[in-house]
Amino acid sequence: MRRISSWFGLGVLVLLFGCAGTAVEPNGDPLTKLNDAELLFRQQDQPVLAEKLIRQAIDLYAERRDAHGLGNAYREYADFLRSDSLSGKWEAYYREHGFQDRTVTYANRMAKSSEYYTRALGYYARAETQLREAKKFGPLTNVYFNMAMSYHQLQQDKKACEYFDRTIDAYKENLRLNPAANPYSPTGSVPGLVDSLKKQAGCG
């Protein structure tokens, strides 16, 4: 499988549609919890706290019946289960204590990660319908991007390429309807980011 850069869709979510704090705050905002969790397990070697925040976000989004949010939260948990933060000194901890999802073990975490990506895709599909009907093409851009990345993680690159193309279509429609919008990415432009990721995924 061709490897796409380790930073993932939630980073683009933050950059496209608002800023998030970097400190962990004890609040009830599930998006803040996911952003904090991302930093904790990717950059700060604190997977235990990261997992706690992700599971809290899942519960909050479930209470709100927020399909887009649940897609993000399940995808984040899938990322977490595949992350390098679970190796090294944390391997012994998770082998002994397990995960908050008690069906996950250290040995089966990769397979369970795939289940979480698949679950995320189901919620993203629901969110897609809702956002398209509401003509909310900004958030829809993000949904498509995260669907593309999830399909890539599942080694379904044909589907990933399809959703990268949908990402750009939604992005363009958002700019058409909202000329003052100023979305951006770490590469300087959303099309530039998507084009780079398409090449890494082997899209034609």
> For 152-189, what is each residue's pLDDT tens digit?
999 999 999 999 999 999 999 999 998 887 776 666 78
99 and 50 in contact (C-beta within 8 Å)? no
Is this structure's pTM higher than 0.75?
Answer: yes
Q: What are the b/e assignments for 50-66, b being 16+ CB within 10 Å?
A: bbebbbbbbebbeeeeb
First to last CA, the chain: 16
Instruction: Say if residue 10's pLDDT is above 60.
Output: no
Q: How confident is the model at residue 1 (pLDDT cuts 50, 70, 90)?
A: very low
* Mean pLDDT, rounded, of the chain: 87
How many C-beta atoms surround the C-beta of residue 147 within 10 A? Answer: 27
117 and 155 in contact (C-beta within 8 Å)? no
198 and 1 in contact (C-beta within 8 Å)? no
36 and 26 in contact (C-beta within 8 Å)? no
Calpha distance 124→13 (Å, rounded): 14
Residue 21: per-residue pLDDT: 36
86 and 106 in contact (C-beta within 8 Å)? yes
60 and 70 in contact (C-beta within 8 Å)? no
Residues 6+ apart with CB under 8 A from 129: none
